Amino acid sequence: MTDKSIRRQEIAADTMIGAAILLITIGVLHIVQGIAAVGNDAVVTAGPEYTYEFDLTVWGWIHIVLGLLVALVGGALFRGGLWARTLTVTIAAASIVVNFLWLPHYPAWAILIIALDTAMIWAVMTAIPDSDWH
């Protein structure tokens, strides 16, 4: 292997590790949002006449379940398999959609998670696949 090829593989490995850490972080943030919504509906509010009207407890459980899935996929991404990369992009896209729908309830958190999901998808999609790095 050439020096250039070795360096590219190191960058790819670092990118994948960063994406896995981001996924676990996003999962924890989803769980915290869900607990806030389930535990105390007064913490999270919605403006009047919001198009996607669910009970906040339902939103809370959606975030808790999605957070657990996201964190588990993040753990799997540390192994670097193609299936984990595919699942990462899929679950991050679902997270972006859920947080877009969640924007009126808790805009700061939703925007933060959307930004982290976008960065994580970029990291996974730019990494060079190689079965030797994990």
Asked if 123 and 15 touch (Cβ cutoff 8 Å), the reply is: yes
E strand map for 1-134 = none
Q: What distance in Å separates the CA atoms of residue 122 and residue 89, rounded to the nearest whole number?
A: 9
Q: What distance in Å separates the CA atoms of residue 101 and residue 97, rounded to the nearest whole number?
A: 6
Give the number of other Cβ atoms within 10 Å of residue 105's Cβ: 24
Over residues 53-102, the pLDDT tens digits come to: 667 788 889 889 989 998 999 898 888 778 888 898 999 899 899 889 88
Identify residue 3 by its one-letter amino acid code: D
Asked if 23 and 74 touch (Cβ cutoff 8 Å), the reply is: yes
Over residues 1-44, the pLDDT tens digits come to: 677 777 766 776 787 788 889 889 889 988 998 898 888 766 55
